[in-house]
Chain A
């Protein structure tokens, strides 16, 4: 059992002379895409560059574009792709370092820009905050919190492609989880920041991010909820 693999190669983001190299790779029943590129590097071409670390779907570093869709390669079995051929490319919208390894700075710069850290309202308090599991707050936040910052969504969003300043799905999703969190004190600051064409209003609910998120998160949902919060916040500010 084997598969033909086409890989997009280039020596950096200034290198317009990219090429596709083709390899024949043997498979086992459970081979995933990361196994495939590892096999190529170990046995066929040691110069192939890519990045990974945990191999268990936790670190979010192994993302690549496989058969036209951004995926976490360590958890994407070749079988599940139902294809006789694999085409592997680096994530779009990121500067390429080499071959399949991309520079994640645009992603993490934006992530930090929205104040992605928790800012406690009562940093010295020893009391537990009591958030009921079935409260609206808990239900709003719960489906959005398992992000592993794999960057797949940012690479898939068309608005990131056209609007170079757009903060992108993961950063806005993260900001939403903190804005909705009653224990956090920087919510208004984030609401002001995201009230912009580079923030909440940049999203046109195309759902590309939701489509590719390996953790099953819908950043689209968070951004829509955020837009409603923005309207409420603006009215509150207007009348106060």
Chain B
């Protein structure tokens, strides 16, 4: 097998490790998310309460800036591992890989864009 091909990423180790790291982060982030939305703010979910919470300080800003890409990365990386289970040709892997990256980055930008007004930031 070609040595230059043996980078960590190409061979699946990186994706496997990142799936677990992003999964661990999601285990924490989803609990925080469900807790604040369903328990702390129960019955009181509206623009006012959400945007005032998001403008409380850096915690929520950093939290959402990480949460959105983490979910999207984890979901697409998971789908990627399902794709690899079907042993696709190198050409198909390239096409699907690019589609996933473009889709993932696009969705992340879309997510950030949607949060802008809640953070009181308007570009």
Contacts and interface: CB of A to CB of B under 8 A. Distances in A.
A201 B86 contact: no
By DSSP majority rule, is chain A's interface helix, strand, loop, or mixed?
Answer: helix
Nearest to B17: A231
B85 A202 contact: yes
A204 interface: yes
A163 interface: yes
Contacts of A231: 13, 17
B84 A195 contact: no
A162 interface: yes
Given A159-B85, A195-B11, A197-B87, 20 more contacts: A163-B84, A163-B86, A164-B87, A165-B87, A195-B12, A195-B13, A196-B11, A197-B11, A197-B12, A197-B84, A200-B12, A201-B11, A201-B12, A201-B13, A201-B81, A202-B84, A230-B13, A231-B17, A234-B13, A238-B8
Nearest to B8: A234
A87 to B, nearest CB: 28
By DSSP majority rule, is chain B's interface helix, strand, loop, or mixed?
Answer: helix
Interface of A: 159, 162-166, 192-193, 195-198, 200-202, 204, 227, 230-231, 234, 238
Contacts of A195: 6, 11-13
A192 to B, nearest CB: 7
A192 B86 contact: no
Contacts of A165: 87
B69 interface: no
Interface in B1-40: 1, 6, 8, 11-13, 15-17
Contacts of A238: 8
Nearest to A196: B11
Contacts of B11: 195-197, 201
A204 B16 contact: no
A163 B6 contact: no
Contact of A201 (B1, B6, B16): B16
Q: Which of B15, B16, B86 has the largest count of A CB atoms less than 10 A from its CB?
A: B16
A220 to B, nearest CB: 15
Contacts of A230: 13
Contacts of A197: 11-12, 84, 87
Contact of A196 (B12, B17, B81, B86): B12
24 contacts: A159-B85, A162-B85, A162-B86, A162-B87, A163-B85, A163-B86, A163-B87, A165-B87, A166-B87, A193-B1, A195-B6, A195-B13, A197-B12, A200-B12, A201-B11, A201-B16, A201-B84, A202-B85, A227-B16, A230-B13, A231-B13, A231-B17, A234-B8, A238-B8
